[in-house]
Amino acid sequence: MIAENLIAKMQTVKALLSGARSLVVLTGAGVSAESGVPTFRGTDGLWEEYRPEDLARPEAFSRDPELIWRFYNWRRELVGRCEPNPAHLALAALERQAPEMLLVTQNVDGLHQRAGNRNVLELHGSLWRLQCTVCTYEEENRTDLPPLPACPRCNNLLRPGVVWFGEQLPAGVLSTVLDTVAKADVMLVAGTSSVVQPAASLAHVAKRSGAVTIEVNLEPTHNTGFMDFALHGRAGEILPQLVEGI
């Protein structure tokens, strides 16, 4: 009976995804977990003796930029060796067949773009972007970096082009996302614990505007209760099944 219910639920979600006119997908670290990219809140959420959540902060960078660059250079090296997994590939296939789809990601690893998604909005920036801490210089850079990389324009310290805890999202990004979410008829949320704002509230905005909301996550989240459909399991198994043949 349980298995039958699950099959029926999968079929309904599949029909919703294939019938969506305007689809928004929000992803989090869980979608990259099967590529070997650690999540922040998973069981292996430690780097050296630090919790990543304590390092991804502007105060931590001001206090000890060398430590924070060591953490980011370790993440760049780790992610540089990772490949998109079946969850990323399924979302790329979904974009190819959807009339309109925006993929909003909290991930900073660039794996959605590598899987083939074109319409990607990186809510929290990218590990592969560098920004000057003093002037407006920015660059895309995938090379090995020195312990304290310097701005080629003004010689001051560069920082990772990511949004740290306590920082504002880049100007304009949130309003673009909110506009698109408000127009969506289906919103799929995958692999996020739904505790980091404002990403966590986007599904609420979608639902208030009339969209059907779907969650795919390893375990129930803060948002599970109000989602129209919640499917619990590995994103790399569930998403390919949802997208297959549509």
For residue 175, with 0-12 CB atoms within 10 Å meaning exposed, 13-18 middle and 19 or more buried, which class applies? exposed
Q: Which of ligand NAD, Zn ion, none binds 37 (CB below 5-8 Å, type-dependent)?
A: ligand NAD
State whether the Cα torsion 53-162-145-59 is positive or negative: negative
Q: Per CB under 5 A, does 242 bind Zn ion?
A: no
Q: Does 103 bind ligand NAD (CB under 6 A)?
A: no
Out of 12, 40, 207, 240, the residue judged to bind ligand NAD by CB under 6 A: 40
The sign one gets for the Cα dihedral 74, 239, 173, 221 is: negative
Number of residues that bind ligand NAD (CB under 6 A): 27
Q: Please state, as a whole number, how many other Cβ atoms lie within 10 Å of the Cβ of residue 162.
A: 18
* Contacting range for ligand NAD; rule: CB under 6 A; set: 7-15, 18-26, 107-115, 223-231: 107-115
* Residue 6 interface partner, choices ligand NAD, Zn ion, none, CB cut-off 5-8 Å depending on type: none
Q: Which is nearer to ligand NAD, 20 or 230 (CB)?
A: 230
219 binds ligand NAD (CB under 6 A): yes
Instruction: Choose from Zn ion, ligand NAD, none: what does 154 bind? Cβ within 5-8 Å by kind.
Output: Zn ion
Build a one-symbol-per-residue string for 110-149: x at contacts with Zn ion by CB under 5 A, - elsewhere: ----------------------x--x-x------------
Choice from 217, 227, 230, 231 touching ligand NAD (CB under 6 A) = 217
3-state SS class at 130: strand
In 38-157 the beta strands, taken as DSSP E runs, fall at: 101-105, 120-122, 125-132, 138-140
Q: 3-class SS at 25?
A: strand
Rounded to whole angstroms, how far apart are CA atoms 104 and 21?
Answer: 17
Minimum Å distance from CB 140 to Zn ion? Answer: 16
For the bound state, the minimum distance from the C-beta of residue 183 to ligand NAD, rounded and expressed in Å, comes to: 24
Query: Does the active-site annotation cover 88?
Result: no
CB within 8 Å of 92: residues ≥ 6 apart: 84, 112, 115, 116, 117
Strand order in the sheet with 158-162: 138-140, 125-132, 158-162
Can residue 106 be called a binding residue for ligand NAD (CB under 6 A)?
Answer: yes
Distance (Å, rounded) from C-alpha 205 to C-alpha 203? Answer: 5
Catalytic member of 112, 124, 222, 232: 124
235 within 8 A of 34, measured Cβ to Cβ: yes
Binding span for ligand NAD by CB under 6 A among 2-10, 33-41, 112-120, 130-138: 33-41
Is the separation of the CB atoms in 27 and 91 below 8 Å?
A: yes
Residues that bind ligand NAD (CB under 6 A): 28-30, 32-34, 37, 39-41, 106-109, 124, 191-193, 195-196, 217-219, 221, 234-236
Residues that bind Zn ion (CB under 5 A): 132, 135, 137, 151, 153-154
